[in-house]
Chain A
Amino acid sequence: MEAMDNPDLIALLREAVPNAQLEEAPGIDPQPTIYASRDDIPALTRALRDRPELAFMLLVELTAVDYWPREPRFELVYLLVSIAHRRRMRLKVRLHGDDARVTTASDVWPAANWLEREVWDLFGIVFDGHPDPRRLLMPEDWEGFPLRKDYPVQVKLAPRTTEPLQVTEEEFRANVMKDRLSRDRA
């Protein structure tokens, strides 16, 4: 495995995409992790794939993490592999909850098509320019985004048989906060 640390990779990416806002992130995995700005994603993804010294042809995974209630709450994560250079890297993008959208990468890596649909389906992050922006796993008429941390899975109410379950905004917030407080802090 060729050794490559964050500054090397950042220098290469700066050369490929001048003016890109890049920031190295700490991590314990033996691979570089880089935070990028949302606006640089189209140029960066192309450079990562096409530059022969990078050649990250294989998009292994594209997923998101929700850090609600912190803002920016979403982190989009691209796990990349360069088969030619036996190298891995992780590209991350921070997204605000009220403006969770990013340019699609499905024209760079066709593999991103369904992975982005899954992220849209479960997190509600919009991918601009996506060729097929439908839900992937949930039914198409589903409301809400289940993997968001404020999705009401923990709401407990007395069972009612005559009317559908209705949760007010206050009940919903109270339930989610109760659940968060019950997590054992280290």
Chain B
Amino acid sequence: MPDIRTETMTVNMGPQHPSTHGVLRLVLELDREPVRAASPTMGYLHTGIEKTPEEKKWQQVIPLVERMDYLSAQSNSMAFCLSVERLLRLDIPQRVMDIRLLIAELQRINSHLVWLGTHGMEVGAVSVMLYCFRERELLLNLNEMLAGFRMFPSYMRVGGLREDLPRGFHDAVRAFLDRFLPKLAEYEDLLTKNEIYLKRTQGVGIISREDAVAFGLVGPIARAAGVDYDVRKYFPYLGYDTYQFDVPTETRGDVYSRYLVRVAEMKESVKICRQALERISPTGAFAVDDPRVTPPPKDRVYTEMEALIQHFLIYSQGFTVPAGEAYVPVEGPRGEHGFYVVSDGTNRPWRVKSRAPSLLACQALERMIVGGLIADVIAVIGSIDVVMGDVDR
């Protein structure tokens, strides 16, 4: 019998593959079904968005950072504001911090819902996608109520918030939270013990605890591997240390553990949201009382010369930020992120660097998929929840 000639096959997956979450390109070397080597390539979405802020005034950077990681928009703008506010040495009112915390937790639920929906669809559970996007729609409605904009509200501002909470916001959030928990239980019924889902995800895409730390993985991926690192607990900001919540962890580090961690995180976020709602008064201070950064109220602009001058200064020249550098880490939906901001004392940033958890997740992707089957590649890419806007910036 003659020898059977075997050779590996090189396959391009992406950048237009529907399950690569945007424009991630993987060059896979296949030995029939198993993957022998993988090389992720990115940059297809690179827009130089870290260079652009160097030409913008500080407040104008907020819409840009919201569009970097487009699934955690308000978490990004909050991280940027915290860094700039530290440089400005502003003392932010407690009410503003509580509102920001509430919005950040809602954003986490929003991002995890998109993740659950797309990941479910990619492993064959299409109905989960439809259900998750239905609930996410309600969160986008909350954004619309808050700021008139659904995806990128730019509601966070350096110095506080753009305006006060709209009337009825508390009731709207409560209504969402009351509806959401039973719905989440329904999604769990669809997946957690589903034989097909278990076969696609258990023992797939494993990364060890040591590798997770070495590759700089944070957030749900690291927590699924047993690293309990959560910025909210380790380096509390916004007063997270005064809230009651747990950090769910798993130990196996596979796709299924990441699913369990993210679902548990959504439940914790609901708990945090309820506590925040108790603390936030319906009306009150929504920005720091500092004439350098906060524009005066409109009735004063129309009646007082000083207020009018202040209004023009803020909207034409912006404000200057003392020279220095700051980095405030926050726990976004994809793990620690933050903005390393350098100021040279002018009204424009000297350097804005976004810490991108998705970039490091992409880097570790090779470690997770080599040795597995090509069908598992899709499950793993889904499970690490990369947002290409964050990878490429």
Contact for A184 among B86, B336, B347, CB less than 8 A? B347
**Is B346's CB within 8 Å of the partner chain A?**
yes
In the complex, A60 Cα to B46 Cα: how many Å?
A: 21
Stretch touching chain B among A8-16, A39-47, A132-140, A163-171: A132-140
- Which A residue's beta carbon lies closest to that of B236? A1
Which of A59, A90, A186 is packed against the most chain B CB atoms within 10 Å?
A186
A28 cross-chain contacts in B, Cβ below 8 A? 86-87, 89, 324, 326
Contact A61 B353 (CB under 8 A): yes
With contacts A58-B229, A111-B216, A186-B320 taken as known, whether A79 is within 8 angstroms of B346 at the C-beta atoms is no
In the complex, A139 Cα to B342 Cα: how many Å?
A: 27
In the complex, A147 Cα to B351 Cα: how many Å?
A: 9
In the complex, A147 Cα to B353 Cα: how many Å?
A: 11
Interface size (A, Cβ < 8 Å)?
A: 40
Chain B, range 354-390, C-beta contacts under 8 Å to A: 355, 359-360, 362-363
Contact A58 B235 (CB under 8 A): no
**Is A141's CB within 8 Å of the partner chain B?**
no
B234 cross-chain contacts in A, Cβ below 8 A? 1, 81, 83, 86
B229 cross-chain contacts in A, Cβ below 8 A? 58, 81, 83
A61 cross-chain contacts in B, Cβ below 8 A? 327, 340, 353, 355
**Is A20's CB within 8 Å of the partner chain B?**
no
Contact B216 A59 (CB under 8 A): yes
In the complex, A114 Cα to B393 Cα: how many Å?
A: 14
- Which A residue's beta carbon lies closest to that of B336? A60
Q: Mark A9-39, 1 if CB is under 8 A from B, else 0.
A: 0000000000000000001110000000000
Q: Mark A94-131, 1 if CB is under 8 A from B, else 0.
A: 00000000000000011101110010001000000000
B392 cross-chain contacts in A, Cβ below 8 A? 137
Q: Mark B209-228, 1 if CB is under 8 A from A, else 0.
A: 00101111010000000010
- Which B residue's beta carbon lies closest to that of A184? B347
In the complex, A72 Cα to B337 Cα: how many Å?
A: 29
With contacts A29-B327, A147-B50 taken as known, whether A111 is within 8 angstroms of B340 at the C-beta atoms is no
Contact for B326 among A29, A58, A153, CB less than 8 A? A29
Contact A184 B346 (CB under 8 A): yes
In the complex, A137 Cα to B40 Cα: how many Å?
A: 12
20 pairs from A and B in contact (CB 8 Å cutoff): A1-B235, A28-B87, A28-B326, A29-B325, A29-B326, A29-B328, A58-B218, A59-B216, A60-B216, A60-B218, A60-B336, A60-B355, A63-B353, A83-B213, A114-B362, A118-B359, A136-B43, A183-B346, A186-B345, A186-B346
Give B contacts to A, CB under 8 Å.
Answer: 42-43, 46, 48, 50-51, 55, 86-87, 89, 211, 213-216, 218, 227, 229, 234-235, 317, 320, 322, 324-329, 336, 340, 342, 345-348, 350-351, 353, 355, 359-360, 362-363, 392-393
Give A contacts to B, CB under 8 Å.
Answer: 1, 27-29, 57-61, 63, 65-66, 77, 79, 81, 83, 86, 88, 90, 109-111, 113-115, 118, 122, 135-139, 146-147, 153-154, 183-186
**Leading 3 A-B pairs by shortest Cβ distance:** A111-B216, A186-B320, A137-B43
